[in-house]
Amino acid sequence: MSAKLNSKYVSSFVTDEEILSYQEKITKAHNDLHSKTGAGNDFLGWIDLPVDYDKDEFQRIKKAADKIKSDSEVLVVIGIGGSYLGARAVIEFIGGQNYNDLREGTPAIYFAGNSISPSYLSDILSICKKKDFSINVISKSGTTTEPAIAFRVFRELLEEKYGKEEAAKRTYVTTDRARGTLKALSDKEGYETFVVPDDVGGRYSVLTAVGLLPIAAAGIDIDALMAGAAKARAELMDTDINKNDCYKYVAIRNALYNKGKSTEMYVSYEPSFTLMNEWLKQLYGESEGKDGKGLFPASAIFSTDLHSLGQYIQEGERILFETVVTFAEPKDEIYIKEDAENADSLNFLAGKPMTFVNEKAFQGTILAHNDGGVPNIVIENEKMDEDSLPISNASLSA
Amino acid sequence: MSAKLNSKYVSSFVTDEEILSYQEKITKAHNDLHSKTGAGNDFLGWIDLPVDYDKDEFQRIKKAADKIKSDSEVLVVIGIGGSYLGARAVIEFIGGQNYNDLREGTPAIYFAGNSISPSYLSDILSICKKKDFSINVISKSGTTTEPAIAFRVFRELLEEKYGKEEAAKRTYVTTDRARGTLKALSDKEGYETFVVPDDVGGRYSVLTAVGLLPIAAAGIDIDALMAGAAKARAELMDTDINKNDCYKYVAIRNALYNKGKSTEMYVSYEPSFTLMNEWLKQLYGESEGKDGKGLFPASAIFSTDLHSLGQYIQEGERILFETVVTFAEPKDEIYIKEDAENADSLNFLAGKPMTFVNEKAFQGTILAHNDGGVPNIVIENEKMDEDSLPISNASLSA
């Protein structure tokens, strides 16, 4: 954090009064959530995860990540849905989409068991045949088809390659604390196990071992991640819409939905946000798609998708609003240089950072989309790092 | 080809009569297209590209690709929108999402100039600093901001690394035949140039040098690609809806749109189809998003996205239909083995190929979604290769 909501670009679509009319509902939802009294109250452990987690296991996670870094060029993370998207979203956001090519001292990470495509699986298998690798299989029950098939395949390769004993040391299992066939198998084979807590739903489990082990193996600072989430949690405790950007966001998107906007498009100007978008789709789609209702969650990365979806956003059916997540500081900056030829006529930008141009593109686009009848909610972040990752924000609003 | 349309899973939503009611409009559109008399008739070169293309340039493309393979570990492809999506879609579909890790004798391929993110660009720059690389910059005018900035950056690195003369030999430019600043610069600097034809719109340009050079550099058989497209073109010449699956698809999706389905979701069970989906979004979104109308193009990869969007598809707003692209044969097969432990209870699948399970998942899902009120159009393909790539099909329907 601290992510800030900018509601300027919805102001001509939704009035302050309309936003505030959700106060009562929001106060009730807040109280239900925090007193754990509403429907689904068995699965509210995620609310307190940033401050209330198993510190011993947290240390074990860091130790396991260190061992993986020391003995593996590849970590295969086997999981689907909530046991897949969060970790991948964080790793790609912090490490970039080309993390596997840029890492230093950490393993390449491949995600398997999230489809039933043999073409996809055999590609990853080919890679592992030539490298030292470990696996982290993540499944509460151990019987979900996709990860179960992938686990069979990689377990066989591990045992073939390293023998049963060493293979067991390269197998990390994140599963139920006590029940389930995967837990039983792990105890029998001597796999190190981590816990999917009973009170945390799959899609909210990124701050448990489910997300933290792969994230830590990728060299990301999980202490900073937890601290950022704890800060966000503290900042988002107020029930007052005017003092809580998370609830203000909730009110605005509901107001837009009730005015006939059927589709929310998550937008970022950073390609590394692509998987965060996918994860947001899960967080919202699974939470809201019920009883024939709910905002349809879509996503785009600009400016690239302006050259594909831009036309539709500007001139297609007026069913869209956008939620744009911005970052003031890039991970790395590039300055545009003077060019003697100036064939592209861009010398007027010489000396300027690319971030300046990206920001101008954002400003121009948002005005054009607003003019075209598309409301834009903007969530402004400072840095692209562990601290500012808008995880808690997203979770709390879902 | 030959892709086949299966309309069984729309039959309870759209009658044969409704489908056939589009015959007149389709016949007119067909005649306008093929006689090149309708609006936008200056940009219909794509229709005949599979049979009417510059054979000399085609040979030059293959030669350039061979040179790149022989002297470059990395090819940076600089382009946005139509100068980006098609090539990337084909390379990832045929080579897989992990092509860069699996290639043998061909360069790793990175796509730049499709955003203004300095974080993204500097990652690719870091990779190129350590490897022998070439660049292919694709821009009709040479002044589009995103590729122009990226070209400045990589041109500088090339000249720094190899000197001006050798850098020029590693710079391949795809641009206007005669006009434009990029063409002028190329002639001055001695870059080899390829042509973006005047009569082919950006998003349809994959079968010109725009797509063919990067695709050939990735080791994909562009002769087979052109032959497959020519076959598809010949098969899709009939105006009769009942004899032309492409037109039948057009009729069905229009009928669904006119019945209140606002969103078409492209679905595949192959992760390597992800970028094909993105390209389809461009093909349709740019063609249809006009005058406050048009189907909103969305996409999903199953089974992974069943664990995120599945709930919404099944139970959310009834605004969706799906267009599922299937492949009967995988690129590689994996057989599920007997496991002594059978902890996952999957031994009943022992001896079966994963394709069998993927197919069952598809069948179960389509029935469930149909029951939930979601029509499904199915486009059935045989193989995941150059020949069956449904490029022409997609283009012709857009």
Contact assignment for A336 to B312 by CB distance below 8 Å: no
Q: What is the pLDDT of residues A135-148, one digit of tens each?
A: 999 999 899 999 99
Q: How far is B18 from chain A (nearest CA, A)?
A: 23
Which whole number is the average pLDDT over B114-143? Answer: 96
Closest residue to B294, CB basis, from A156, A298, A317: A317
Task: Say how far residue B367 (Cα) sits from the centre of its chain.
Answer: 28
User: Alpha-carbon distance A280 to A67, whole Å?
Assistant: 31
Q: How far is B297 from chain A (nearest CA, A)?
A: 8
- CA distances (Å), origin B135, targets A186, B68, B74: 49, 9, 8
Which whole number is the average pLDDT over A20-47? Answer: 90
Q: What is the pLDDT of residues B314-329, one digit of tens each?
A: 999 999 999 999 999 9
Which whole number is the average pLDDT over A256-267? Answer: 95
Residue B216 has pLDDT above 90, yes or no: yes
pLDDT at B42: 85
Q: How far is A375 from chain B (nearest CA, A)?
A: 15
Which whole number is the average pLDDT over B267-274? Answer: 96
Choose from B102, B152, B171 for mutation: most chain A CBs within 10 A. B152
Q: What is the pLDDT of residues A272-321, one digit of tens each?
A: 999 999 999 988 988 888 899 999 999 999 989 898 888 899 999 999 99
Instruction: Give strand pairing partners of B335.
Output: B353
Q: How far is A243 from chain B (nearest CA, A)?
A: 31
Whether the bond between B139 and the residue before it is cis, its omega within 30 degrees of 0, is no
Closest residue to B102, CB basis, from A121, A123, A330: A123
Q: How far is B354 from chain A (nearest CA, A)?
A: 6
CA atoms within 13 A on the CB side of B379: 26
CA nearest to A326 within chain B = B117
Contact assignment for A282 to B343 by CB distance below 8 Å: no
User: Alpha-carbon distance B268 to B378, whole Å?
Assistant: 10
Q: Where are the alpha helices (DSSP H) in B181-272?
A: 181-189, 209-217, 222-235, 245-258
CA nearest to B356 within chain A = A116
pLDDT at A389: 66
Which DSSP symbol is given to B298?
E
Contact assignment for A102 to B127 by CB distance below 8 Å: yes
Contacts of A117 in chain B (CB under 8 A): 269-272, 330, 354, 358
Contact assignment for B117 to A357 by CB distance below 8 Å: no
Closest residue to A119, CB basis, from B331, B341, B357: B331
End-to-end CA distance of chain A: 17
Which whole number is the average pLDDT over B84-101? Answer: 96
CA nearest to A374 within chain B = B292
Contacts of B304 in chain A (CB under 8 A): 80-81, 84, 114-115, 146
Closest residue to B344, CB basis, from A81, A119, A181: A181
pLDDT band of residue B394 (cuts 50, 70, 90) is very low
pLDDT band of residue A63 (cuts 50, 70, 90) is very high
Contacts of A325 in chain B (CB under 8 A): none
pLDDT at B389: 66
Choose from B173, B268, B308 for mutation: most chain A CBs within 10 A. B308
Residue A360 has pLDDT above 60, yes or no: yes
User: Alpha-carbon distance B211 to B65, whole Å?
Assistant: 12
How much of chain B is helix, strand and coil, in % rounded to 5?
55, 15, 35
Choose from B94, B312, B347, B385 for mutation: most chain A CBs within 10 A. B312
Q: How far is B248 from chain A (nearest CA, A)?
A: 23
Q: How many helices (H) and strands (E) does chain B have?
A: 15, 10
Q: At what angle do helices B245-258 and B23-34 cross, to 10 degrees?
A: 130
Q: How many CB pairs under 8 A join A and B?
A: 325
Choose from A182, A296, A327 for mutation: most chain B CBs within 10 A. A296
> Average pLDDT over chain B, rounded to whole?
93
CA atoms within 13 A on the CB side of B100: 18
pLDDT at A74: 98
Cα-Cα-Cα-Cα dihedral sign, residues B311, B316, B318, B323: negative
Q: Are B112 and B124 in contact (CB under 8 A)?
A: yes
Beta strand spans in chain A (E): 4-6, 74-78, 108-112, 133-138, 171-175, 192-195, 263-268, 296-301, 320-327, 376-381
Contacts of B308 in chain A (CB under 8 A): 81, 85, 203, 278-279, 281-282, 285-286
pLDDT at A385: 86
B135 against A340, higher pLDDT? B135
Q: What is the pLDDT of residues A85-112, one digit of tens each?
A: 999 999 999 999 999 999 999 999 999 9
Closest residue to B152, CB basis, from A303, A332, A337: A337
pLDDT at A62: 98
pLDDT at A260: 93
Sequence length of chain A is 398
Contact assignment for B308 to A85 by CB distance below 8 Å: yes
Q: What is the pLDDT of residues B5-17, one digit of tens each?
A: 999 999 999 999 9
What tokens does A333 get? 């900056």
Contact assignment for B304 to A145 by CB distance below 8 Å: no
Choose from A344, A348, A363, A371 for mutation: most chain B CBs within 10 A. A344
Q: How far is A73 from chain B (nearest CA, A)?
A: 13
For chain A, what percent of residues have pLDDT higher than 70? 97
Q: What is the pLDDT of residues A342-357, one digit of tens each?
A: 999 999 999 999 999 9
Contact assignment for A289 to B311 by CB distance below 8 Å: yes
| Phi (first) and psi of residue B142, to 5 degrees | 90, 0
Residue A394 has pLDDT above 70, yes or no: no
Contact assignment for B303 to A80 by CB distance below 8 Å: yes
CA nearest to A109 within chain B = B98
Q: What's the one-letter identity of residue B270?
A: E
> Average pLDDT over chain A, rounded to whole?
93
pLDDT at A396: 41
Burial of B71 (C-beta count, 10 Å sphere; 0-12/13-18/19+): middle
pLDDT band of residue A38 (cuts 50, 70, 90) is confident
Q: What's the one-letter identity of residue A133?
A: F
Which DSSP symbol is given to B104?
S
Contact assignment for A311 to B296 by CB distance below 8 Å: no
- CA distances (Å), origin B196, targets A279, B74, B213: 37, 23, 12
Contact assignment for A317 to B293 by CB distance below 8 Å: yes
User: Alpha-carbon distance A126 to A115, whole Å?
Assistant: 17
Q: What is the pLDDT of residues B148-190, one digit of tens each?
A: 999 999 999 999 999 999 999 999 999 999 999 999 999 999 9
What tokens does B92 get? 């990832």
Contact assignment for A271 to B120 by CB distance below 8 Å: yes
CA nearest to A182 within chain B = B343
Closest residue to B102, CB basis, from A126, A203, A286: A126
Q: What is the pLDDT of residues B28-55, one digit of tens each?
A: 999 999 998 888 888 888 889 999 999 9
Q: What is the pLDDT of residues B276-320, one digit of tens each?
A: 999 999 889 888 888 999 999 999 999 898 988 888 999 999 999
pLDDT at A288: 87
Contacts of A104 in chain B (CB under 8 A): none
Closest residue to B262, CB basis, from A98, A262, A271: A262
User: Alpha-carbon distance A22 to A35, whole Å?
Assistant: 20
Task: Say how far residue B293 (Cα) sits from the centre of its chain.
Answer: 24
Task: Say how far residue B32 (Cα) sits from the centre of its chain.
Answer: 25
What's this model's pTM, rounded to 2 decimal places? 0.96
Q: What's the one-letter identity of residue A199?
A: D
pLDDT at A1: 52
